[in-house]
Every structure is written in structure tokens, then in C-alpha cells.
Amino acid sequence: MAFLPSFRLFIGLAAAMAGVASTSTSPLLSRRVLHESRHAVPHGWSLHRRADPNTIIPLNIALRQSNLHYLDDYLLEIADPTSPSYGQHWTPERVAETFRPSTESVDAVHTWLVNDGLDRSRIQLSKDRAYVQLNATVAEAESLLATKYYIYQHDDSGVEHLACHHGYHVPEHVATHIDLVSPTIEFGGIKLGATLAKRGGASPAKGKYMHRPQGPPKIPVAAEALTTDAENCAASVTPNCLRELYGFNYTFVETQKNKVGVVELADQTYVARDLDIFFQKFAPDLVGTEPTLISIDGGTINFTEMDPGLIGESNLDFQLIMPLVGKPQPVSLYQVGGDGSFNLLLDALDGPYCTSDGGDDPSLDSVDPGTTRQCGGAPPSFVYSISYAGAEDLGAHYTERQCTEFGKLALTGMTFLFASGDNGVASNSLGLCLLPNGTAAPVSAGDLTANFLPNFPATCPYVTAVGATQLPSGSKVTDPESASIDFPSGGGFSNLFPRPKWQNRAVGKYLSNVGDTLGYGPEVFNRSGRGVPDVAANGAPTAVVLDGNFTLSGGTSASTPIFAAMVAAVNDARLALGKGPVGWINPVLYSHFFAGVFNDITTGSNTGCGTDGFPTAQGWDPVTGLGTPKFETMQQRFLVLP
């Protein structure tokens, strides 16, 4: 499901500004270079008309942050298990100070705008000095960026969107000082691809368009058929099945210090009554317990919501994570309002990432009218479980900027766990793949020309991507799991983020033993990209309560809070020893030090894009990552680290 906000045109202002001289050409301009471009109009959108040259648009020029090229080094210093500084996380102040854009960058952009004929009084620098901002007419923006603006229309919803047609240009000497200019080429929104919870049907809600849901069928199940022991775990997965599968039965002790978060977006909500029916059966001491609401940008919960497409995700997340961490440990709900984009979450967690009137892309990251965007101040957690995903096709600069922010927050000791998706090597519930002309579209069986399209943020190296496993029909809880069978677990290789060095050994082995023997050409997947997922946990058929009834659901949406509960338990044990939380865990997971920590998953594959996708294999694979955790072993190893 996707949230496609309409672009807010400043029509009222246009008339007032109509008399302002549009542009003047300056002889001082250096050669313009293409800064960002898009191959094609995204799936579901059509070019409608030229934008009115007098329309006013809020141009945001995102300055390049300082020292970003050291981010990997900084992170490895505190997250590589062999580093003497392992675990020495940074303060938020140190992060802000280190990455603040330089004065040279501010000056270069300012000079460019003034030389292009814009009055100094119209140009503003955001509080945190991350963006240069300007209200410009479409005509001025077109001259400044050597581009043409058009209005596009969403085929199904009729929503209009303003964007450049191909790409935009900036002077060569400015290009190195900026990340991106918005609004320019971005489209779309965050798509809820990684949940089986939306199987109830497409329903336009509150002006937002949602994709047709996919995934395995949701099956009603009689409450009596669900046992609280772990005898029937191939047929229905209950909290005790998960405890048995991973040897995870840990009692939290540092319940005040420890912070555990679950993120839910836009209109998605849990229903307290459903949680209580579930707890009554599987965790009676939790009856009446709810997550602690941290509302971001007007995010609300709605206990009268009945649409399975709007309650399935949140209900599933809390029915899994709360019993697994146990009653004494509070769980926070970060309910993100507005467009429900990850940038809104990041803005609320990190003030300097934000600006007063929207340093993010207004077409993707806007808040509801009357709501003030929250910049910083959201109480942080050590671990975040996030079962939402979108195709890795939101534009390279936008995507990289957001990924970098996950990395900066990881420096402070946060762990971000993301679902890898439920559509195999294709992306989100539409099963999108990349066509040769760069368009993302559903691909029918037999078309082998399309590129696999993994999900973002799972492909960001600074988050941990979680895939799904399942017990084959008829097997016992002590038998090996397979890659998920009821739906293909999301996995593959990023087309944007190069393979980090901590993945070289594991991913290189898969490519030479398996990946290179599959007959997929370089146009099908990018063998130099970051591999996903990193780890896996059970994803079907998960027992949940929806609208008062027990139902079998699941997805990597289930796997993610399950793995998050275990990371939270590791943090608890470390806090009890006076150590810090684990933070960014990826380099540790792939290290020699973690040999034997995971149950290797060697059966199953992840079909998609009209292909068999990738098969599982010994060691890491792009279906189940390193495998499922042996909790006790994983915890002991993390306790050895400083």
C-alpha cells in the first residue's frame, strides 16, 4: 500500500508573485551539470500538463554534510567486534557537530542563487544550517535548475504531483556542495510492502491511495485449535513456539533503563481489545497492558478501526513483541502521522535532520494541515522494530540521505530492524521489478529481462534486514525451518548501496558457489550491491487476533518484532552488566566471532519477477541471510564484547 500525498501548490501566492521578474542570466555561472535524473515516470502516474510558470514552490537545497565519507569508519570503530573502541557510542551532540555542512557549502549555494538574480532577502538558511530555502516561481526554478516542471496525475486516485520531467542541473562548482534539490524528481511514497496484514482489500483511506494487497491468504482459525504448548508449530505459530524455536525465554531485569520501540505509520493502528483477547490466551499477565504511545506529527491510534488492512500490522507487531519481552518491560509505539514516512520519524528522533518548514521532500514527507512537524524531542529507544518497506526506487539522493541518517543514529547506539519484504526478489505488494527502461512495474512470469527490485530501507547497510522462515508442514518445533513457504521472503541485492566490506566473505561465498551459477545476467541483479536480508526469524503462519477473531497471518512483518525482542533481551543483559546497548550489529553478525550463532537455513527460495529468485544455501543467502538466532549463544557472545 502506498501513501501518495498530493503536492501542496501555493496557488494563492502565485497571483501575488506574478509581477516579480522571473530570471536574469548571470555571466558568472559555471557549466551546469546533471545532478539527478529519473529514467521514466513511475508506475501508476501519467504526465498531465506543464506546470504554471507563476506557481510558487518551496525550493529546498539540501547541503552536503561534512565528513560523510568517514561515516563507515566512524561506525566500524564502535561496531567492529575487533575494534578497541567497540561499544563507545557517540553523543547526539558529537554527531551533529561532526556532520554539520561547512560554511563553504553554505556560501557556494548562496552565491549561486544571488548570481542567478535572486534577491538575498528571499534566501534563508535553515536553523540547523542543513538546507538553503527559497520560495521560487516555477519559472525561476526552471531557470535555476535548467529543467522543466510538469504536473503528473496518479492514474487511480487522480492525485496531482509536481515534478521535473527528466532531471535537473546545477553549476559544476555547486554540485559538490549539495545533496539534492526538492521538489524535483521524487515521486510516490512509502509503500507498505512488508506486511501480510493488508490482505483485507484495497481501501482508499483519508485521501491516501493504497496498493492492492498481496501475500498468503489470511485464514481464520478457531481459538480451540490453537494450543499454548509448542506441539503444533508448523500449523500455527504461538509465543511458546517462538520460545522453543530460538531457545528464547529470557526474563528482563533492566526494565527502566532498557528502551524497546515499534514504529507504525500513518493510519495503521492496533486495537486494544484484540491485544487483550490474544494476551488472555497466550500471556494472561499482559491483559490490560498497552504500548506507550509516542505520537509523532499527529500520529493517532483508533480503537474503533475494523479494516484488517489498517489494524493487521500493528496488532501483529504488539501481539508478538509484548509477550516475548514480557510484562515488566514497557514497549514504546512510535506512531508516525502525516505521510507516515521514515523521514518524519528521523526528524523527530534527530532535530538537526529536520528543518522548521520541511527540509525533507514535501511530496513524500509532509505532515497533515494544522500539524507542526516535530524536530527532535522524541524519546529514543535502543532497538526499533519496523515492518514497513518500499521499493528501492525513490531516487538515489533521497534514499542515500535517509540511509545516512540511520547510520548517524546508529553511531549513538540505536539498532534499526527492518522487514525485508514479502515478495521475494520483487518489491512490495504489487510485485514490482525494474524494467530495462528504468520503470518499476509488475512483471509476468516468463519475462526474464526485468531487474530484481529489493526493498528500502532493508537495503541500507546501517539497518539490519530481517527475512522470514517457516516450519514445513508436518514438522516438529525441533526440526529445521525452511525459508518461508506461504509467501516468498524478500531478499536480493541493492541497486544503490555497494556491498559493505563486512559482507564480503559471506556474500562473496554465496555468489561464487550459487549466485553466479543461476544464469542471471548483470541486468537481473547487481552482484556488487549490498545483500539482504542479514538474518531471519519465523514468519508464518502466525496466530494473531484481528477484529476479535483468531487468524493465521504473518510475513517478514512478524519476523522483525520477533528478532527485535531478542536484540532487546541482549541489551537487557548487557545493561545488567553495566555495558551499553549493542547498537549497529551488522559487522558483529557477519564476523568470525559470531560463527555458530545462527541456525543455517538451507531449504527454500524466494521467487519473484517471473523467476525462481534465489535459492537458500549453506551460509549466508539472499533469502534468509545468516539464518535464525540461537538466542542463548547470541546473547553470550554479545556479553563478551565490551
> What residues form the annotated binding site for Ca(2+)?
600-601, 619, 621
Gap between the Cα atoms of 145 and 127, Å rounded: 24
3-state secondary structure of 386: strand
Gap between the Cα atoms of 346 and 380, Å rounded: 11
Residue nearest to ligand NAG (CB): 40
CA-closest candidate to residue 352, choices 179, 133, 129: 129
Strands (E), 38-140: 45-50, 56-63, 124-125, 131-137
**What residues pair up with 170 in beta bridges, in sequence order?**
33
Q: Nearer to ligand NAG by C-beta: 483 or 562?
A: 562
CA angle 517, 484, 570 (to 5 degrees): 105
Q: Nearer to ligand NAG by C-beta: 455 or 616?
A: 455
Instruction: Based on the shown chain and the rule CB under 6 A, indicate whether residue 134 belongs to the binding site for ligand NAG.
Output: yes
The one catalytic residue among 116, 140, 264, 313: 313
The nearest distance, CB 82 to ligand NAG, in angstroms, is 25
Q: Which residue has the cell 559482507?
A: 503
CA-closest candidate to residue 189, choices 280, 265, 301, 90: 265
Among 37, 66, 135, 371, binds ligand NAG (CB under 6 A): 135
Instruction: Mark whether 557 is an active-site residue.
Output: yes
CA-closest candidate to residue 478, choices 243, 224, 239: 243
The nearest distance, CB 223 to ligand NAG, in angstroms, is 9
Among 54, 55, 133, 611, binds ligand NAG (CB under 6 A): 133
Q: Nearer to ligand NAG by C-beta: 240 or 586?
A: 240
3-state secondary structure of 119: coil
The one catalytic residue among 314, 484, 557, 559: 557
Q: Nearer to ligand NAG by C-beta: 381 or 628?
A: 628
Show contacts with ligand NAG in window 415-454 (CB under 6 A).
435, 437, 439
Instruction: Based on the shown chain and the rule CB under 6 A, indicate whether residue 304 belongs to the binding site for ligand NAG.
Output: yes
Instruction: Based on the shown chain and the rule CB under 6 A, indicate whether residue 250 belongs to the binding site for ligand NAG.
Output: no
Count other C-beta atoms under 10 Å from residue 450's C-beta: 25
Instruction: Based on the shown chain and the rule CB under 6 A, indicate whether residue 37 belongs to the binding site for ligand NAG.
Output: no
Instruction: Based on the shown chain and the rule CB under 6 A, indicate whether residue 109 belongs to the binding site for ligand NAG.
Output: no
Q: Nearer to ligand NAG by C-beta: 95 or 333?
A: 333
Q: Which residue has the cell 521532500?
A: 361
| Contact flags string 333-372 toward ligand NAG, x per CB under 6 A | ------------------------x---------------
Task: Measure Cα distances from 298 to 107, 290, 389 in Å.
Answer: 36, 19, 21
Among 9, 41, 272, 518, binds ligand NAG (CB under 6 A): 41
Q: Nearer to ligand NAG by C-beta: 35 or 259?
A: 35
Question: 491 near 525, Cβ under 8 Å?
Answer: no
The nearest distance, CB 58 to ligand NAG, in angstroms, is 5
Among 387, 423, 495, 611, binds ligand NAG (CB under 6 A): 495
The one catalytic residue among 179, 244, 317, 572: 317
Report the chain's terminal Cα–Cα distance, integer Å.
Answer: 42
Among 498, 505, 639, 642, binds ligand NAG (CB under 6 A): 498
Gap between the Cα atoms of 499 and 623, Å rounded: 16
Size of the site for ligand NAG (CB under 6 A): 31
The nearest distance, CB 642 to ligand NAG, in angstroms, is 29
Q: Nearer to ligand NAG by C-beta: 118 or 558?
A: 118
Gap between the Cα atoms of 392 and 409, Å rounded: 21
Gap between the Cα atoms of 165 and 180, Å rounded: 16
Instruction: Mark whether 365 is an active-site residue.
Output: no
Show contacts with ligand NAG in window 207-226 (CB under 6 A).
220
Among 252, 318, 497, 502, binds ligand NAG (CB under 6 A): 497
Cell output for 479: 526440526
Provide the annotated binding site. 600-601, 619, 621
Question: 256 near 305, Cβ under 8 Å?
Answer: no
Instruction: Mark whether 317 is an active-site residue.
Output: yes
Residue 361 φ then ψ, to 5°? -75, 115
The nearest distance, CB 307 to ligand NAG, in angstroms, is 6
Among 40, 47, 293, 639, binds ligand NAG (CB under 6 A): 40
The nearest distance, CB 553 to ligand NAG, in angstroms, is 13
Gap between the Cα atoms of 101 and 220, Å rounded: 54
Q: Are strands 535-538 and 464-470 parallel, antiparallel or unpaired?
A: parallel
Q: Nearer to ligand NAG by C-beta: 331 or 545?
A: 545
Among 54, 258, 341, 526, binds ligand NAG (CB under 6 A): 526
Gap between the Cα atoms of 344 and 386, Å rounded: 14
Written as one letter, the residue type at 402 is Q
Among 37, 83, 102, 124, binds ligand NAG (CB under 6 A): 124
The nearest distance, CB 343 to ligand NAG, in angstroms, is 19
Gap between the Cα atoms of 9 and 297, Å rounded: 21
Question: 75 near 583, Cβ under 8 Å?
Answer: no
Cell output for 480: 529445521
The nearest distance, CB 394 to ligand NAG, in angstroms, is 15
Gap between the Cα atoms of 542 and 561, Å rounded: 12
Q: Nearer to ligand NAG by C-beta: 100 or 243?
A: 243
Task: Measure Cα distances from 150 to 41, 57, 169 in Å.
Answer: 11, 12, 16
Gap between the Cα atoms of 229 and 12, Å rounded: 64
The nearest distance, CB 417 to ligand NAG, in angstroms, is 22
Binding residues vs ligand NAG (CB under 6 A): 40-41, 58, 124, 133-135, 220, 240, 243-244, 249, 302, 304-306, 357, 435, 437, 439, 494-498, 526, 528-529, 547-549
* Catalytic site positions: 313, 317, 557
